[in-house]
Structure 1
Amino acid sequence: MKESWQRNLIVLWFGTFMTGIGSSLIAPFISLYISTLGHYSKTELNIWSGLVFSSTFIVLAIVSPLWGRLADQKGRKLMLLRASLGMAISISLMAFVTAAWQLLILRMLLGAFSGFVSNSMALMASSAPKEKSGAVLSLLTTGSVAGTLIGPIIGGILVNITGYRRVFSVTGIIMFLVFFLALFFVKEIFKPVEKKNMLSYKQVWEVVTHPAIIWGMFFATLITQMTNQSINPVLSLYVQELMHGQGNITFMAGIVAAAPGIVTLVAAPFLGRLGDKVGQRKILGFGLFFSLIVFSITAMTTNVWFLIVMRLLVGVSDAAILPSVQAILAKESPQAITGRIFSYNQSAQSIGAFAGPLLGSAIAGFIDYRYVFVGSAILVVFNLINYFTHTKSLAVKN
């Protein structure tokens, strides 16, 4: 009979997989959807796209520490139920908007209730054996990556068949299924921390052995999300430009959006196991260096097929960076504060996912799409500086 953490891993993999599908079905086409809600110039459409896309993440950045504290008090399963149900309702309502500001409000509401994947990570980080955390969290990462990979392709097909609004309805149904999956199949043996015994924010950092490492991982997460998300709100517009307005633009945009997940899906489990053997720091460093090279070359894109190839290579760096960060956080976090550490990392991720699209849409609107990748390469340089200054003690351990 499987241990409880192994059963949860299977259930949560499917949960994060379905969440990935649900969250990515419409994401690449948000800018095109907004264009149907009014008459906008190119600059206005880029700015609106950035605001709508980013609004989810800034709200999530604010509320994540609150949810993380509640997770340490009430358990991670309750947070899984809260996230999936809230996402199901808010996404379903997006099918009925008639103006961009209404979509903006619902995207903000979505951010307030998001967090299924991060809480799945926290639950597994606190229950799986520490020596297997790299492999476990890497495998769990492939769930959301696989869903994110398939989602845009399915979304592109559905948009062509049913239009944009029906895709939101399908996404809402998927998230309701995730809610019931978590409700009936996730088992958590949780010893709550009483409110009077909860550590303050200052005390949390007093019990962490290497706070510099934790802060370094937060920064790595923030910058990685900025670089990954910067092109997303204007991705379909960029693909439209590269294809000169000809052909099946929504389908090709879906392929471009899904491309990084193809390689991440395959590479993440391998790199996770390798990181457990040679040290997660080495895998993280490789991912950062590789991403710098990829973003620099992507800035020279002249056609959609070259863009697809380069986005595939982004999947290699993601497979190295993201699971390594999660594994390092899991190993460096005492179990009593795992929920809050992962919620702080969720906030860093959300801030990056908020700032990245705003930066990318501004660069695209005022300069040109290809310079979005130049900006991403510059951000990776800062991430490398952070890597060398905040993970020195990991090098000693390894």
Structure 2
Amino acid sequence: MKNWKSAVYVVSAIQIGAGMAIIGVMAFLPLFLSQIGITDSGEAAFWSGILTAVTPLTLAISSPFWSLEAKKRGAKPVMVMILLVVAVSATLCSFTNSPWQLLVLRTAQGLAGGFIPIGLSIVTEITPEEKTSWAMGFFQAALVAGTMLGPLAGGIVADIFGYRAPFLFFALLLVLCALATKFFLPEVNKTSDEKEDGSSMFSQIAYFIKIPEFRVLAAIQFLCNFGITGMGPIFPLYLEKMVGGEATAIASLVGFLIFLSGGADALASLSAGTITQRFDMKKVLFVSTIFVGFTFIFQYLMTTVWGLGAFRVVTGLGIGIIMPITNTLIAKSVPSEKRSIVFGVVASISMLGNVAGPATSGVLAMYMGYASVFWLTAFAFFLGGILFFITDRRKKAA
């Protein structure tokens, strides 16, 4: 495809907008729950965890289906349909009056999702082989940008216009993404091996699971997402407790800190290639994973908002190195003709981490307090680093 680079730009821009709409609720969702009757902080943390987790759970389940639909009907029309359905769901969220109504709509958003694996498959299909690493890095930066800008925009809109307004703002953003897909994204030609690759998603998953390197790298991405998203349900409440009555714009503060962390993540992602040229890639991955675990411990030990924010930024630097390295190693662990499929499978596994993190942290915060969430998150990263170290040693010894 001659205009492959412009297509990568368009797909990445769409991912930024869609990511903002899905992640943006993290900045104000626990506070919105108090407005619709959930006044106990522990119960708010619990519901926030469930509502944050249900979307990636259903997204992980539905992603293989949407990947197959994209192969049958074309990525472009499927992407437009997905974005419009999620936009309708976001609009309806603004009119909810109970957490159960939110649960139904957040579930619908996940079932209608799948734009990330479709975007990944488009990028891998249209990009020349020698430019794949650049395209994947650019796409990853777009995903990070969505997680940065979403909570920041959601928090600002919530503090200015109220907690219902961000849902309408994100719905409008999704409609704009659908229009961009319709009018600016070029048609993607179907590959000659489409029938073979799309015949059975379950057989493809079974194929990848048999590869030891894939298993451990996918597990690390699962644990990374577990740790990152696990802070979402408690972060606004933890900041509110930390500042007491000294600040009123809590949602904006949450969005700002997430923005800073995401910015550090993006900068580190852009630097990961340079770092791995100077140091062994696997050693960098191991050290970075353990390092991030310690940063969560230091986050808990901080007694000021800015101290906490500083270590959130440091955490973002570590995550920004981990994710592109794992994606690179995953790509190297499978045949080149399987790469477009493997990233779809990894996306589903990673989404399960987005499920387990918020659900677990919400329950822990409710019954054991906020400290348990920080310590469990640190343990998740320690476990990921140790698991990778052991697997790599076994491979070298074999």
Separation (CA, whole Å) in 1 of partners of 2:21 and 2:198: 34
Q: How many residues align?
A: 395
Secondary structure, counterpart of 2:369 in structure 1: coil
C-alpha deviations, 1:281-327, integer Å up to 9, x for none? 34433431221221122221212111111111111112111222223
C-alpha deviations, 1:120-149, integer Å up to 9, x for none? 222212332444433321221111222322
In structure 2, what is the equivalent of residue 190 of structure 1? 190
C-alpha deviations, 1:175-233, integer Å up to 9, x for none? 11111112222222322656577454575368669811222222111111110011101
Q: Which amino acid aligns with 2:325?
A: S
Give the C-alpha shift of residue 278 in structure 1: 5.8
Q: Decide whether aligned partners of structure 1 residues 395 and 290 sit closer, same or farther in structure 2, where only a CA change above 3 A counts.
A: farther
Separation (CA, whole Å) in 1 of partners of 2:209 and 2:149: 40
1:84 paired to 2:89: no
Separation (CA, whole Å) in 1 of partners of 2:255 and 2:33: 17
Separation (CA, whole Å) in 2 of partners of 1:279 and 1:131: 21
- Aligned counterparts, 1:1-398, within 5 A: 3-187=2-186, 188-191=188-191, 193=193, 195=195, 198-200=198-200, 203-204=203-204, 211-247=211-247, 248-272=249-273, 274-275=275-276, 280-334=281-335, 337-391=338-392
Q: Decide whether aligned partners of structure 1 residues 70 and 320 sit closer, same or farther in structure 2, where only a CA change above 3 A counts.
A: same
Aligned-residue CA RMSD (Å):
2.7
Q: Which runs of 5+ in 2 are unaligned?
A: none
C-alpha deviations, 1:230-254, integer Å up to 9, x for none? 1101211111001013212222122
Separation (CA, whole Å) in 1 of partners of 2:194 and 2:133: 30
Decide which moves more: 383-392 or 189-198. Answer: 189-198
Cα contact 2:89–2:109 (8 A) shared by 1 = yes
Q: Which amino acid aligns with 2:267?
A: V
C-alpha deviations, 1:91-118, integer Å up to 9, x for none? 1211111111000110011111223233
Separation (CA, whole Å) in 2 of partners of 1:391 and 1:79: 39
Q: Decide whether aligned partners of structure 1 residues 9 and 393 sit closer, same or farther in structure 2, where only a CA change above 3 A counts.
A: farther
Give the C-alpha shift of residue 19 in structure 1: 2.1
Give the C-alpha shift of residue 341 in structure 1: 2.1
Cα contact 2:62–2:114 (8 A) shared by 1 = no
Separation (CA, whole Å) in 1 of partners of 2:83 and 2:336: 24
Separation (CA, whole Å) in 2 of partners of 1:200 and 1:122: 16
Q: Decide whether aligned partners of structure 1 residues 82 and 326 sit closer, same or farther in structure 2, where only a CA change above 3 A counts.
A: farther
Q: Which amino acid aligns with 1:38?
A: G
Separation (CA, whole Å) in 2 of partners of 1:61 and 1:371: 26
Q: Which amino acid aligns with 1:244?
A: G
Q: Decide whether aligned partners of structure 1 residues 68 and 329 sit closer, same or farther in structure 2, where only a CA change above 3 A counts.
A: farther
Q: Decide whether aligned partners of structure 1 residues 256 and 198 sit closer, same or farther in structure 2, where only a CA change above 3 A counts.
A: closer
Decide which moves more: 187-196 or 287-296. Answer: 187-196
Q: Decide whether aligned partners of structure 1 residues 299 and 338 sit closer, same or farther in structure 2, where only a CA change above 3 A counts.
A: same
Cα contact 2:56–2:354 (8 A) shared by 1 = yes
Separation (CA, whole Å) in 2 of partners of 1:198 and 1:22: 29
Decide which moves more: 103-112 or 263-272. Answer: 263-272
Q: Which amino acid aligns with 1:65?
A: P
Cα contact 1:54–1:354 (8 A) shared by 2 = yes
Cα contact 2:62–2:113 (8 A) shared by 1 = no
Q: Which runs of 5+ in 1 are unaligned?
A: none
Secondary structure, counterpart of 1:370 in structure 2: helix
C-alpha deviations, 1:11-48, integer Å up to 9, x for none? 12222222233233322211111111114423222211
Q: Decide whether aligned partners of structure 1 residues 306 and 127 sit closer, same or farther in structure 2, where only a CA change above 3 A counts.
A: same
Q: Which amino acid aligns with 1:345?
A: V
Separation (CA, whole Å) in 2 of partners of 1:202 and 1:154: 38
Give the C-alpha shift of residue 362 in structure 1: 1.8
